[in-house]
Amino acid sequence: MNKNRITAILATAILSGVFATSAQGARKTVVFSVRDFGAKGDGKTLDSAAIQKALDKCGEIGGGVVRIPKGNYLSGAIFIKSNTTLVIEEGAVLTGSSEEVRDYPVIDSRFAGTEQKSHASLINAIDVHDITITGKGVVAGSGVGGSRPPTGPRVIEFIRCKNVLLENIKVTNTGRWTIHPLYCTNVVIKGLDIRTTGPNADGIDPDSCSNVLITECTFETGDDCIAIKSGKNQQAVDIGIPCENVTITKCTMLGGHACVAIGSEISGGIRNIVVKDCVFKNMHRGFDVKTREGRGGFVENITVENIKTFGIKNAVLMRMDYPGNKGDLIKGPAGISTVRNITCRNIEIHDGGMGSIRGVKESPIQGLTFKNFMCHGNSELKIKNVSGLVIENIRNKNSDKAVTMTDVKLQD
């Protein structure tokens, strides 16, 4: 079956399943306002206990809607129950407390590829199903905490959840991952506006998840806008949960390090990824695959198409010699990653470069297809250590020497 057809079926299945759940929740007659449980919304009073009471009551009756009306609600960690829709209304701001130890309990999570103790996020959903976070309000993370265990709180984290819809809100943060679905199935993230600053301030990090749709979102981040991950080194190999069936479409990336990154935490495997109909602006990397010796794992069955870049130094970057994020590496042949079956086509490049591809001699990138690159400059696409390359219509402004190849075997 054609890969685009598979992608369309996947997206339809995710949307129909999750939005049907959302619609079912909307038919429930019970709506709780956090104000009725004592929330002040004055930006000074810590409202997390009141908000949690509303969420708990909603969970006790089997589900419903919890409203956060207009106001500025200072909060520590809150936890959503199954069959719950959390509505952050226009004019409402949920602001993370700066008291890390007091307001964010320590839980089991994963950060930078390793399972470890972490402070709970501002909004949490753990081992629940059929949840929605929606509205036109703002969720503002505090940015407190460090990167060593227990790591600082993210803004929104879903752990082992099924049927998740996150839509329309604006999310801000400083120096910390923003949205982290971990070990989740059927996740739709739609229409978000994500603005972050500082190191490690990724936008969305799907981590060992399956069936994920990210669409119509806008990003301006301090790090990668979207980073797809599956854990790091032997621990992730033993867990054995890949990140798979992820579609990213109609998104706009305005700033950060990479627009869409895969890795470098790929030890659990990453497969069946589609990135299409997106605009990339003002970053070092557009689509970025990164791994290193000792990481192991695989990246396979990737399609990137219909992308416009502006001010991107490397529209496409694939590197199996990524130097960072080391950890306890896997020794021997098992530590050499496999990267295969990647297609990039219909890429339009303005004020930037095409990028480079760097496999390794021990494990060349396999089954790589590049078609229809148009660079409105003099950049070349540099390709090294690739087996089974298909390359068609790669042009730059001068229309000559647009591709440089080293240790490359073309597909027969």
For residue 89, pLDDT beyond 60: yes
Contact 206, 179 (CB under 8 A): no
Mean pLDDT across 72-78:
98
* pLDDT for res 339: 97
| Claim to verify: residue 199 and residue 327 sit in the same structural domain | no
Range of the domain at 18: 1-223
For residue 402, pLDDT beyond 70: yes
| Claim to verify: residue 195 and residue 335 sit in the same structural domain | no
Three-state secondary structure call for residue 63 = coil
| Claim to verify: residue 126 and residue 183 sit in the same structural domain | yes
Token pair, residue 149, equals 């265990």
Q: Percentage of the chain with pLDDT > 90?
A: 88
What tens digit of pLDDT does each residue of 183-238 get?
A: 999 999 999 999 999 989 999 999 999 999 999 999 999 999 999 999 999 999 99
Last residue of a domain, one of 223, 238, 260: 223
257, part of any domain: no
Token pair, residue 191, equals 């229409």
pTM of the predicted structure, to 2 decimals: 0.94
Q: Rounded distance, CA 41 to CA 43, Å?
A: 6
Residue 148: which residues within 8 A CB-CB, separation 6 or more? none
**Number of residues that this document lists for the chain:** 412
DSSP 292-333: -TT---EEEEEEEEEEEEES-SEEEEEES---S--SSPPPSG
> Could you tell me the CATH number of the domain that includes residue 88?
2.160.20.10
Identify the CA nearest to 363 among candidates 390, 394, 338.
338
229, part of any domain: no
| Claim to verify: residue 146 and residue 275 sit in the same structural domain | no
Residue 352: which residues within 8 A CB-CB, separation 6 or more? 309, 310, 311, 312, 313, 314, 315, 375, 377, 379
Last residue of a domain, one of 223, 251, 281: 223
Mean pLDDT across 74-85:
98
Residue 348: which residues within 8 A CB-CB, separation 6 or more? 307, 308, 309, 374, 376
Q: In this predicted structure, which of 24-28, 93-97, 321-325 has the lowest mean pLDDT?
A: 24-28
Number of domains present in the structure of the chain: 2
- Top pLDDT among 20 and 335 is at 335
Place of tokens 């050499």: 336
| Claim to verify: residue 280 and residue 211 sit in the same structural domain | no
Q: Rounded distance, CA 55 to CA 63, Å?
A: 9
| Claim to verify: residue 99 and residue 201 sit in the same structural domain | yes
| Claim to verify: residue 282 and residue 219 sit in the same structural domain | no
Last residue of a domain, one of 192, 208, 223: 223
* pLDDT for res 376: 92
* pLDDT for res 400: 67
3-state helix, strand, coil in the chain (%, to 5): 15, 50, 35
Q: Rounded distance, CA 378 to CA 284, Å?
A: 17
255, part of any domain: no
253, part of any domain: no
Q: Rounded distance, CA 327 to CA 55, Å?
A: 38
258, part of any domain: no
What tens digit of pLDDT does each residue of 319-355 get?
A: 999 987 777 899 999 999 999 999 999 999 999 999 9
| Claim to verify: residue 199 and residue 315 sit in the same structural domain | no
Q: What's the chain's average pLDDT? A: 93
What tens digit of pLDDT does each residue of 360-382 get?
A: 999 999 999 999 999 998 899 99
For residue 21, pLDDT beyond 80: no
For residue 64, pLDDT beyond 90: yes
Q: Give backbone dihedrals phi and psi of 186, rounded to 5 degrees, phi first.
A: 65, 80
230, part of any domain: no
* pLDDT for res 9: 43
What tens digit of pLDDT does each residue of 96-139 get?
A: 999 999 999 999 999 999 999 999 999 999 999 999 999 999 99
259, part of any domain: no
Buried-state track 367-405, b at ≥16 Cβ within 10 A, e below 16? bbbbeebbbeeebbbbbbbbbbbebeebbbeeeeebbeb
